[in-house]
Amino acid sequence: MKAAVIVFPGSNCDRDVAVSLERTTGRPPLMHWHADADLPEDLDLIVIPGGFSYGDYLRSGAMAARSAAMAGVRTAAAKGRAVLGICNGFQVLCEAGLLPGALMRNRSLHYICRDVYLRVETTDSIFTGHYAPAQVARIPIAHHDGNYVADLATHCALEDEDRIAFRYCTPAGKVTDDANPNGSLDNIAGILSEERNVLGLMPHPERLADPRLGGTDGQPIFASLMEALS
């Protein structure tokens, strides 16, 4: 699997996800600078990492979505390449129109950094194949703007097309309002594109993919990609 991580000014989980990718694939991913529109042709996976691209000063992900590199990502996605957006990366993908909906301020208005539980809602994707159906995974979130919104038609389409990848849930796997850390519509934590080759999620799988850091529930995402794309 040949992977690249896009680096925007203000990305700050680029190294973190590169560590996870290297652990999974055995070699470091390509770190791709935002100003460069030309992505290598032979990439299997493009990761838009977490952080605060451009400070998130206008809207989270808004400026990064208009960068040269994102034009390249759009082309690659159209060709069916895998694109994974984590946290700020999810925000960028929504702003870029590669995923539907938007991520608004958390309903508590606080930044929240903590482990949450996710129910795996579909295993039918190159990102989630290594999870069991309805498996509960403990993965951290760390964001201020993770409150997913979409209009009714989009919500129905996501549901009908099995494109909701993860929902926030209790440790026992119940999808409840108490288990929803940020107010997201229908507890949505991550969604797939229509072609199922783009995944955006707010939680950070790279932060719990190493026993030393206290857990490995994030690792199946990388393992799924490795199997699907190698």
Partner 1 sequence: MKARVHVTLKSGVLDPQGKAIAQALQALGFDGVKDARQGKVIELDLEDGDTSAAQARVDEMCRQLLVNSVIETYRVELEG
Partner 2 sequence: MTAVEITPAVIAEHGLNAEEYARVLEILGREPNITELGIFSVMWSEHCSYKSSKKWLKTLPTTAPWVIQGPGENAGIVDIGDGLTAVFKMESHNHPSFIEPYQGAATGVGGILRDVFTMGARPVANLNALRFGAPDHPKTRHLIAGVVSGIGGYGNCVGVPTVGGEVNFHPGYNGNILVNAMTVGIAPADRIFYSKASGIGNPVVYVGSKTGRDGIHGATMASAEFNADSEEKRPTVQVGDPFTEKLLIEACLELMDTDVIVAIQDMGAAGLTSSSFEMASKGGLGVELALDTVPMREEGMTPYELMLSESQERMLMVLEPGKEPVAEAIFRKWGLDFAVIGRLTDTGRMVLTWHGDTVADLPIDPLAEAAPEYDRPWEPSPAPAPVDPASVPTVPWTEALVTLMGSPDLASRRWIWEQYDHMVMGDTVQRPGGDAAVVRIHGPAGLTDRGLAMTTDCTPRYGSADPVLGGTQAVVEAWRNLTAVGARPLAITDNMNFGNPEKPRIMGQFVGACQGISAACLALDFPVVSGNVSLYNETEGQAIPPTPTIGGVGVLDDLDRMATVAFKAEGDAILLIGGPAGDAECLGRTLYLREIAGREDGAPPPVDLAEERRVGDTVRGLIQSGRVTTCHDVSDGGLLVAIAEMALAGGIGATLDGVTDTPAALFGEDQGRYIVAVPEADAAAVLSDLGSVARRIGSTGGNALTLGGVSVPLATLCDAHEGWLPRLMGDA
* Residue 206 binding result from partner 2, partner 1, none, given CB thresholds of 5 to 8 Å by partner type: partner 2
Angstrom distance (rounded) from CA 83 to CA 78: 10
Token pair belonging to 196: 């199922």
Residues 6+ apart with CB under 8 A from 58: none
DSSP state of 35: T
Is 210 an interacting residue with respect to partner 2 (CB under 8 A)? yes
List the single partner that 63 binds among partner 1, partner 2, none, CB under 5 to 8 Å by kind. Answer: partner 1
- Chosen from partner 1, partner 2, none, partner binding at 112 (C-beta under 5 to 8 Å by type): partner 2
Minimum CB distance to partner 1 smaller for 60 or for 123? 60
Residue 81 Cα distances to 48, 92, 152, angstroms: 13, 17, 28
How many residues bind to partner 2 according to rule CB under 8 A?
A: 31
Whose Cβ is closer to partner 2: residue 107's or residue 156's?
107
Of 50 and 100, which CB lies nearer to partner 2 in the complex structure? 50
Nearer to partner 1, 59 or 138 (CB): 59
Q: Residue 82 binds which one of partner 2, partner 1, none, with CB within 5 to 8 A depending on kind?
A: none
- Name the E strands within 110-187: 112-120, 136-143, 147-149, 164-169
Please name the residue that has the structure tokens 């009714």. Answer: 152
Which stretches of the chain bind partner 1, using CB under 8 A? 54-55, 57-59, 62-63, 66, 94-95, 100-102, 104-107, 109, 147, 149-151, 183
Length of the chain, in residues: 230
Of 58, 110, 156, 171, which lies in the binding site for partner 2, with binding defined by CB under 8 A? Answer: 110
CB 100 within 8 A of CB 148: no
Minimum gap (Å) between residue 184 Cβ and partner 1: 11
| Residues with catalytic roles | 87, 204, 206
DSSP 103: E
H-helix or E-strand spanning residue 223 = helix 219-229
